[in-house]
Structure formats: structure tokens, C-alpha cells
Structure 1
Amino acid sequence: MGQYIVDFSNWIWDTPMLILLMGGGLLLFIYSGFLPFRHLGHAIKLVSGKFDDQNMPGQISSTQALSAAIAATVGLGNISGVAIAINMGGPGAIFWMWMSAFVGMATKYFSCTLSIMFRGKDSTGEVQGGPMYVIEEGMGKKWKPLSVLFSVAGVLGLLSIFQANQLTAVFRSVMINDSPKVLGFLTSFTEGLNGLLGVGLESEEVTKWILGISMMIIVGAVILGGIQRIAMVASRLVPFMVALYFITVIIILVQYIGNVPDMFYLIISDAFTGEAAMGGVVGAVIIIGARRAAFSNEAGIGTAPMVHGASKNNEPVREGLIAMLGPFIDTIVVCTLTALVILLTGVWEATEKDGVRLTLSAFDMALPGYGRYLLMMAVLVFALSTMFTYSYYGHKCFNYLFGAKKANYYNYFYLITIVAGAVVSLEVVVSFIDGMYAIMAIPTMISTIYLAPKVKAATKEYFQRMRAQKKY
């Protein structure tokens, strides 16, 4: 079964998703008149919240929506996903992650503008947003099968099994494998458990189960409080953790400052030669970069429109401008910092480790003694914040499919799968999530491109009005 999941993921991301996400995003980027570049400054001003109106329909502010969306994207995709990209596609994969991010800014602008423009209501009358409502309200009832397809893939693809898997891996590497006392305790505990239950469990398996159950309890304490609690926790955790991670990486970069230009040259040159990976096949490196960028910033997948659609905002364009900052912060800034640490320390050539363990090796080499603990703290906060927000995304998809009264059942299913994610293999986890992301992207990109003219018209009207009011 695991191999079928891997094969499907590899097939759908080979060409179809490259054309849909990169090609579609580039089309939107050009169609917008290169809006992400021209209006980036205005978008940054909007984040201050001075345009927010708490009396508008919705559940959270635009800034909280951005924090929650970034909580989902600035996470293990930036730490583990970057390592996977370099491991699979070499340094050149990072360049194609950058390109995906720039076109992704346009994609998020259009999709999140639409999430306010075409909001719907759930079975209780609560205002909701997201691709499923954009499709039904903006394109018409005949397109509803696309909404259902998105929601089914969202229920499965937005489980936090990848985060649980990688958080377990880094916790075992840092806090357990390097501690003889903890290892001794776990060995004795496992032997006692085997004697009591009459089974033959290994201490590694028991550790994974303990960590999985612990994560389930922590996440449950937040997500069962709804989007308000999720947004509140995310808006407090994410800025602090991004700042701490940024400072830590800068300390590392200072040590290797003379080699930084060479690393940028390596990233750019390898992007067009592919010599470091896949036998020199450049197309394969592009696919790997686009695939990991999609997992990292989720542009075109349809997740961010769900949380931005809950914003207390009646200005669709304003919400889109705020939302487009997500891929910039996530991929251009945070992913680049992680990539530089891995490349500058040389661990990507000197070890066969993958995922978060590769990044851990880089931090270990650059900051001996305490680098791994700083990374572990970042991984812990990033993973948990992503788990919080993903639960909201999946909850909204379940709500759309089965109604608000049954939606809370999803939370319990979601919590159980955290434990499952802690014990399964990394390859199967990554492939399953990638496959579901690809399916989610199909309805999202179709609706975004189909309704793009409405966004362009609203954009023109918005900036004319802002200039007339001297607010731009």
C-alpha cells in the first residue's frame, strides 16, 4: 500500500502539478501586472491593522488570519522540507522554490481575494470562506463536484502526520538518543511493558507511541477551543519563534559570511545544470523545488483562503494583499535561511541523513553543544502551531461535507492520526500528503484562474479609491 501512495504522488507531481501550479501561477503573476512587486509596500502597511474593522462579518482579524496562515506554512516545511529538497534535488532545488514563491504570491493574492469576495455560509448560518465556497458561490452550483473534491482531499491531506513524524524524529535525536539515562529508563520501561502485556515491543516503538500521545494531548487542548483560540495561540507563538529562529540562523551565517556569495552562486548555477542530483536532469530538479515549495508555502493548494475567508474584512483586495505576504515570509526568507545553513556547513554532502535530521546535523556542526536544542525548540513550536492551524482547515472541509453539527467529530479523528503519524515511515507520510495536496490544488487553481478577471476589476477599483482618499 505504501508503495502505491509513493508512486501516485510521484506521478501526479511529475508534470500535471508543475503545469498547474507553476504555469498557472506565472499566468496570474503576469495577468496581475506583477502586482506582488508593485504593491508589496502597501501590503506590509496593511498588516499593522489600522484598516481593520471589528464590526465586519467574520471570526478573526486580517492580521490574525495572516498569523494563522503563516503558522501553518512557516513550520517543518521550512526546516525539514528544505532539507528534503536539497537531499533530493541538490542546491538548485532552492532556486526553483524561490521561483515558485514569487508566482505563489500572485496565486495567493488572487485566491485569498476571492475567499472574501465569494464567501458562503455553513449549515448554522456562520460566514465561511475557502475554495469550496468560492467555487459554489462564484462559479455556480454546477461546479459543486469540484468543491466536494477539494473538501475530501482536505479532510485527508490536512492531517498533521508529517509534523508528528518529524517532531518525533528530532525529539528522539536530541533528547533521547544522546541521553544514556533516558535511554536506560525507556529500555527498562519497555521490558516491563512487554512482561505485563506479553508482547515484544522495541523501546523505539514505545518512544514513538509516548511522544505521539503527548502531542495529541497538547494539540487537543488548543484546537478544541475553535478558531479563536487557534488564532490567539498562533499570533503569539509564531512571531516569537520566527524571530528566535532568524537570530539563530544569522549567528550561524556570520561564522560563514565569506562563503555566503558562493552558496548563492551554487544555488543559481545548480538550478540550470542539475549536476548535484538526478543525474543532471534539470526538469527533475524543477519538479522537486516546486513540490517542496508547494508543501512549504501552500500557494495554490487552497489552505490559506480558508483562514483568510474567516477574516473580519469587507475589502477582498485588502485581504489578498495581506495574504500574499505569506509565501514571501515563508519561502523567500525562512526557507532561504535554512538552506544556507545546510549548504554552508557542508552536511548535505557529508551525510546520508534526510529531513529534519539533516538540518539538525547542520545546526550541530555550526553551533556545537547548543545548536541542536535551539533547533529542537523551533521545531517544537513550528510543528505544534502547524498542527493547530491544519486542524482548522480540515474542520472546515468536514463542515462543508457533513454540516456544522457533525464537524467537531473531525477534531477527534484528527487527534488520533497524530499518534499514527508519529510511528509511520517518512517516505509514505511525505508522499501521502503531497498526493492530497495535488488533488486539492486542482479545484483551487481552476476556480482561481476562472474568476481572475473579477479580481483584476476589483483591484483596479480598490487602488483608484485608495489614491482618491490619499491612503496609498
Structure 2
Amino acid sequence: MSIDQILNTINSFVWGIPLLLLISGVGIYFTLKLRFLQFIHLPKAFAYMFTREKGNNQSGDISAFAALSTALAATIGTGNIVGVATAIQTGGPGAIFWMWLIALFGMATKYAECLLAVKFRTKDKDGFIAGGPMYYIELGMGKQWKWLAKTFAFFGVMVALFGIGTFPQVNGITTALHDTFDFPILLTTVVLTLIVAAITLGGVQRISKIASVIVPFMAIAYVAASILVLSINADKIPDTLIFIVHSAFNPESAIGGVVGFSVMQAIQAGVARGIFSNEAGLGSAPIAAAAAQTKEPVRQGLISMTGTFLDTIIVCTMTGLVIVLTGAWKGAAQGAELTNLAFSQGLFSSVGAIIVTIGLIFFAFTTILGWCYYGERCFVYLVGGRTKGIKFYRIAFIALIAVAPFIHLNTIWTIADIVNGLMAFPNLIALISLRHIVIAETRNYFERMKVELNLA
């Protein structure tokens, strides 16, 4: 049995029925218990992004918007371009529907985990804000669960080093630049490694400053390019949406039984790639949320949940629609090459490939920065709360960036899916255990808001 076959077997086990039920179940539970909060309070959540919180007693290392930008930097990456393409290849166009569904429920999950991150955050031994699943597991569930917190932190480091943080992002950048502009992969790798080293050695403040500038720009630019393609092919959009929904429940019929997709394949691909992209339930975004300058856990939870909406419902949808609408997914192209082809066909020009490549570079680059920080905080927790040995982690992270382009694409995505799934288990268990705190905090916050509104 080859290494790829072994990895695929492990991946099928990790992303089997138990994890799919756990992820969807947690999202559905919070959606119902919080009374569809992610839909009702979405406008308020977006408003909070651009308004300063009242009061001066706000602890934290970075602004609430910077915390969201850092989280988005880690989530909006190759998953939005390459991940959507591989999801369609693996599970057919119906995978996009399941990606939408898991994102809508995932917004409630993201809200809950980021609320808990602020609720149970603390300071490490060097005075920096420390928070995330490892802390709300230990402080919220009790010291007897510290082993689960350590498990999460260990897999968090693994995801940063071998999953979302390095391999898929670097491979996506180097491949796209080589295919579009014929840049030598080795040269791109060297330059990218040096730039990442210069930025990541500066810590969360430097990462958040860069993310706050790049993330809004790259997201708006990519969405604008996607809207241009969709507007040119506007007459095909209704049929494309119907085809996606139909393929989600009857893929053989929708595709004519040629490719052989199954409903389970569509669900697995959509959920796995959706979680890879928006990270709802994975436990990564709470690490950034914990550093936000706020005194209200609910407020930051609302702001953080917009990340899932922006990532999947907006950006991933744009990519998926363009790929399916143009019919590019039926060919032999894979990954970034498939998305490049779809945009080129949609715009009837090679300009489409250039747009995708530039978008991919920005998306993947900021994801590398965001996940360097996530892995760093997990590493600090594992070594007892001290940042003294953090340079060893950063050196390992930078070294793995240098080797990422030379690993096979399918192997990269399989490894990333495995470590992502393993990281999600401890966090989802914690969310179930601490669900009553989430509900109580939410009710208390909105009751106080009503009183303040009546007094105003």
C-alpha cells in the first residue's frame, strides 16, 4: 500500500460519519438554542466591525477589527480558490451546496467558540493575552481536562506546520506563479520564505497590521473580479444554482452517471473543504479573537462569526459558481489550474488566470501569516506558557515553507484534511461541554442591551 493510499484511508476515517455529525450537530444545536442568532444579528455584527466599543477598560493586544482581519487572513486562503476546485473534483458540483450549509450552521459555531475565547482568556507568563480552545478547555471544563487542552494545542501546531499553515498555501503560490507567469518554483520559494521570515518574527502586532491592510483589499478585489465573470454570464446563473442543489442530492442524475459521484462524496468534500476554508469548529479563530481589545465576549463572537459568512458564503461561492458555470470542472485541470481555466473561459481572456493568480498569492500569503500565529500560541501553551522557545517553532515553520512546493498536491490536501479533523475533535467536545455558558452569556448580553436602549 502506497503512502497516498494510507493517508487516504486515515482521512476517510477521520472525516467519517462521527466527525461530520459532530460538526453539523454542534452548529445546528447552537443555531436553535441561540434562536438563529447568526441570521437575526448579522447586520449588527457587521456594524460592530466598524464601530468602537464604549468604555476604556478593554483588555487585549489588538483591535477587534484587527483580530477579525487576523482570523480572516488565516481563513481566506487557498481553500477559497484551490479548495473549492478540489471539492468539486472530489464530490461534484453538489459539494458547493454542502459547503454553504455547513457554513450557515458554522456561523453559530464560530460565534460560540470566539465568545468562549474572550470569556476565558488570560495572560501568559510574558504578559501577552492568551486564549483559545486550550484555555477554555482548561479553565472552563476544569483542570482534569487539561489533557484535552494539550491534545488540541498539539494538533494546532501540527495544522500550522503540516496543514493549512504551510503546505497547501506555499504549493498554491508557487504553482500558480509558475503556470501563469512561468516563474521558477525554486526562486519563488526562496523569496517567499525570506518575506515570511521577516514578518512572522515580528509577532502578532506586525501580522495583524499587515492583515488589516491586505485582507479587505484582496477580498474586495477577488469578489469584484468574480462578479465581472458572473455578470458576463448572468443568463447561466439560475441554471447553475439549480444544478448545484440538484447535484447535492442526486449527483449521478445531475451529471449523467458518467463521473460516478455519490451523495456521501459530495457531503464529505463539501464539509471538509468548507471547514478547511472557514475553519468553523476547528478552534483556530478563537485564538485570534482572544487577543481583541474588548470587554464583551458576545460582541467579539458576533464580529468573529462574520468571518465564516465572508469566507464561504461570499468568496467560496464566487469561485464555485465560476467553475461550474463555465463547465471547466468537467476537464482534466486540477486545483489552481482549474480555477485559472474557469476564470479565463468566463472572461474569454487570459486576464482571468492573472486575476486568480494574484488573488491566490494574497490569499495564501496572509493565511501563512495567520497560521504562524495560531501555531505559535498553541506551542506556547504546550511548553508551559512561556515564549522563550518560540524561535524554535518559527524556524521550523519557515523551514517547512521552504520544502512545501516539492510535495505532491493530493498528498498535501490529504495531510491537511487529516490534521484539521484531529484538531476539531477536542474543540467540538469543549463547545458541547460549555454550551450552557454560551447560552447564558448571550441572553445576559442582549438583556443588558435592551435595558441600555430603553434608558437612552
TM-score (norm 1): 0.91
Report the AA paired with residue 87 of structure 2. A
Q: Work out whether residues 6 and 427 of structure 1, in 8 Å CA contact, stay in contact via their aligned partners in 2.
A: no
* Residue in structure 2 matching 1:144, options 146, 156, 167: 146
Aligned to 1:392, which of 365, 373, 383? 373
Corresponding residue for residue 465 of structure 1? 448
User: Structure 1: 5+ residue runs without aligned partners?
Assistant: 177-181, 183-206
Question: 5 Å matches for 1:425-436?
Answer: 425-436=408-419
Q: Deviation digits for residues 212-246 of structure 1, max 9, x if unmatched?
A: 22211111121111101101000100111111111
Whether the 8 Å CA contact 2:91–2:262 is kept in 1: the answer is no
Q: Determine the structure 2 residue equivalent to 1:202.
A: none
In the alignment, residue 459 of structure 1 is paired with which amino acid? Answer: T
Select the residue among 139, 156, 171 that pairs with 2:177: 171
Cα distance in 1 for residues equivalent to 2:33 and 2:340: 41
* Secondary structure in structure 2 of the residue aligned to 1:241: helix
316, 324, 334: which is aligned to 1:354? 334
Counterparts of 2:262 and 2:63, CA distance in 1: 45
Call closer, same or farther: CA 1:412–1:55 in 2, change over 3 Å: farther
Distance 1:394 1:79 in 2: 23
CA distance in 2, matches of 1:65, 1:127: 12
Q: How far apart, CA to CA, are the structure 2 residues paired with 1:243 and 1:93? A: 24
* 1:23-45 residue CA offsets vs partner (Å, 9 max, x unmatched): 22212211211111111111111
| Counterpart Cα distance in 1 of 2:56 and 2:210 | 19
**How far did residue 312 of structure 1 move?**
1.1
In the TM superposition, what whole-angstrom CA distance separates every residue of 1:326-366 from its partner, at most 9, and x where no partner exists? 111110111111111111111111x2111111001111222
- Output the CA distance in 2 between the equivalents of 1:238 and 1:139: 34
What is the rounded CA distance, in whole Å, between the counterparts of 2:51 and 2:399 in structure 1? 37
Code of the residue aligned with 1:122 in structure 2: it is: D
Q: Which of these residues, 20, 23, 27, is aligned with residue 21 of structure 1?
A: 23
Paired letter, 2:214: L
Q: Which amino acid aligns with 1:165?
A: N
Q: 1:192 — aligned with what?
A: none
Aligned partner of 1:261 among 216, 232, 238 = 238
Q: Aligned-pair distance for 1:280?
A: 4.8
- 8 A Cα contact 1:109 1:321, kept in partner: yes
Larger Rg: 1
SS at match of 1:412: helix
In structure 2, what residue type is equivalent to 1:317? V
For residue 16 of structure 1, report the CA deviation from its aligned partner: 2.2
Taking the aligned partners of 1:54 and 1:260, their CA distance within structure 2 comes to 48
> Following TM superposition, by how much is the alpha carbon of 1:54 offset from its aligned partner in structure 2, in angstroms?
6.4
Letter in 2 for 1:356: A
Determine if the alignment matches structure 1 residue 437 to structure 2 residue 420. Answer: yes
Which residue matches 1:229? 206
Q: Is 1:370 aligned with 2:334?
A: no
How far off is 1:284 after superposition?
2.2
1:359-401 CA deviation, whole Å, 9 max, x = no partner? 0111122231322111111111111111110100010011111
Residue 316 in structure 1 maps to residue 318 in structure 2: no
Deviates more, 1:15-24 or 1:229-238: 15-24
| Inter-partner Cα distance in structure 1 for 2:342 and 2:189 | 26
> Which of 396, 401, 407 lines up with 2:382 in the alignment?
401
How far apart, in 2, do the equivalents of 1:13 and 1:358 lie?
25
d(CA) in 1 for partners of 2:82 and 2:55?
A: 38
Match of 2:224 among 247, 250, 259: 247
Count of aligned positions? 442
TM-score, normalised on structure 2?
A: 0.94
Q: What residue in structure 2 maps to residue 424 of structure 1?
A: 407
Is the Cα–Cα contact under 8 Å of residues 135 and 147 in structure 1 kept in the other structure? yes
Q: Is the 8 A contact 2:114 2:304 kept in 1?
A: yes
Aligned equivalents of 1:464 and 1:246: distance in 2? 37
> How far 1:55 sits from its partner (Å)?
4.9
Q: CA deviation at 1:167?
A: 1.1
Range with bigger deviation, 20-29 or 255-264:
20-29
Distance in 1, matches of 2:51 and 2:131, equals 20
- Partner residue, 2:66: 64
Residue 89 (structure 1) aligns with: 91
Residue pair 2:226, 2:319 contacting (<8 A) in 1 also? yes
1: CA distance, partners of 2:376 / 2:80 = 24
Q: Which runs of 4+ in 1 moved over 6 A?
A: none
User: Aligned equivalents of 1:112 and 1:447: distance in 2?
Assistant: 12
Structure 1, residues 41-77: CA drift from partner, whole Å, max 9, x if none?
Answer: 1111111132166652211111111111111111211
* Distance in 2 of aligned mates of 1:379 and 1:53: 39
Q: 1:52 to 1:62 in 2, by over 3 A?
A: farther
Instruction: Tell me by how many angstroms 1:210 deviates.
Output: 2.6
3-state SS of the aligned residue for 1:59? coil
Match of 1:380 among 350, 356, 361: 361
The worse-fitting range, judged by mean Cα deviation, of 279-288 and 88-97 is 279-288
2:264 aligned with 1:299: no
Match of residue 185 from structure 1: none
Whether contact under 8 Å (2:90, 2:265) holds in the other structure is no
SS at match of 1:30: helix
Contact 2:66 2:209 in 1 (8 A): yes
